[in-house]
C-alpha cells in the first residue's frame, strides 16, 4: 500500500457551507473521496491511499490539474483508491467538490 499527500494553494474558498461530503465506493476501478472543510480558505490537501504503488507522478498530475480547475480552497480530500483510472479520479474529485459546495441541509 502506498500513501501519497499533496498540498496546494487554492485561488479561492470552496463555495457552500457543508462541512463534509463523500462520493464513490472502493471497488475495482473505482475510489472514494472524503471531502472535509478543515483547512484555511486558500489551502487544499489531497491524501491518497492506494494499493498500486509507483504512480506518484500520475497522481500528482491529476491532483494539480484538479486544483487548477476547481480551486478547492479549504478542503482536505482523502482518497481510498480501488485501482481507478486517472479520468475516474478526476471525476470523483470534481463530484466531491460539487457535493460539499452545496448549502448545508
Partner 1 sequence: MTAPQPQAERPLASRNSPVSWYEASARARVRLLLDAGSFQEFIGPEMREASPHLRVFDLPEQFDDGILVGRGSIGGSPVFVAAQEGRFMGGAFGEVHGAKLTGLLRAARDVKSIPVLILFDTGGVRLQEANAGELAIAEIMRAVIEARTAGVKVIGLIGGRSGCYGGGGLIAGCCSALAVSEQGRIGVSGPEVIETNRGVEEFDSKDRALVWRTMGGKNRRLLGGADAFCDDAVQDFRETALDLIATAGGFGIDSLKAEQARLEERLQTFGTCADAVDIWKAEGVPDPDDVPAMDADAFIAVANKIRRPSRDSR
Task: Give me the DSSP letters along 21-74.
Answer: EEEE--STT-EEEEEEE-S-TTEEEEEEEESSTT-HHHHHHHHHHHHHHH--BT
Q: Does 50 bind partner 1 (CB under 8 A)?
A: yes
From candidates 8, 49, 55, 60, binder to partner 1 by CB under 8 A: 49
From candidates 25, 40, 56, 68, binder to partner 1 by CB under 8 A: 25
Return the C-alpha cell found at 26: 472502493
Stretch that binds partner 1, among 4-12, 26-34, 39-47 (CB under 8 A): 26-34
Taking each helix axis from N to C terminus, what angle separates 86-100 and 56-70, rounded to the nearest 10 degrees?
Answer: 40
Interface with partner 1 in residues 51-90 (CB under 8 A): 51, 61-62, 65, 78, 80-82, 86-87, 90
Classify strands 75-81 and 43-50 as parallel, antiparallel or unpaired: parallel
- Residues in touch with partner 1 (CB under 8 A): 1, 20, 22-27, 30, 32, 34, 36, 49-51, 61-62, 65, 78, 80-82, 86-87, 90-91, 94-95, 98-99, 105
Amino acid at each position: 500500500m502506498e500513501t501519497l499527500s499533496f498540498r496546494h494553494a487554492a485561488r479561492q474558498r470552496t463555495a457552500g457551507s457543508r462541512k463534509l461530503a463523500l462520493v464513490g465506493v472502493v471497488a475495482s476501478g473505482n475510489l472514494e473521496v472524503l471531502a472535509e472543510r478543515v483547512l484555511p480558505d486558500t489551502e487544499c490537501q489531497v491524501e491518497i491511499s492506494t494499493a498500486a504503488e509507483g504512480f506518484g507522478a500520475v497522481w500528482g498530475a491529476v491532483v494539480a490539474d484538479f486544483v487548477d480547475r476547481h480551486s478547492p480552497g479549504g478542503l482536505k480530500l482523502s482518497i481510498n483508491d480501488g485501482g481507478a483510472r486517472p479520468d475516474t479520479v478526476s471525476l470523483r474529485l470534481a463530484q466531491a467538490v460539487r457535493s460539499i459546495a452545496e448549502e448545508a441541509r
